[in-house]
Amino acid sequence: MPLRKVGRSPKDHWWAILIAVVLCATNAVAESLNARIPWIKKTACGF
């Protein structure tokens, strides 16, 4: 059953996949923000 669910996944999300391909959208902004949070915590440890 899980394999069938994975097989349907592109059908269920085709619109989001199309937008990501056309706009060359990535989650780089979110990843950058997630990387900055520990850096901010480390930098502000003395305050």
pLDDT in tens, 5-39: 667 777 788 888 888 888 877 888 889 999 999 98
pLDDT of residue 8: 73
User: Whole-angstrom Cα distance, residue 13 to residue 42?
Assistant: 38
> What confidence tier does 3 reach under pLDDT thresholds 50, 70, 90?
low
User: Whole-angstrom Cα distance, residue 16 to residue 22?
Assistant: 10
User: Whole-angstrom Cα distance, residue 15 to residue 7?
Assistant: 16
pLDDT of residue 9: 77
> What confidence tier does 1 reach under pLDDT thresholds 50, 70, 90?
low
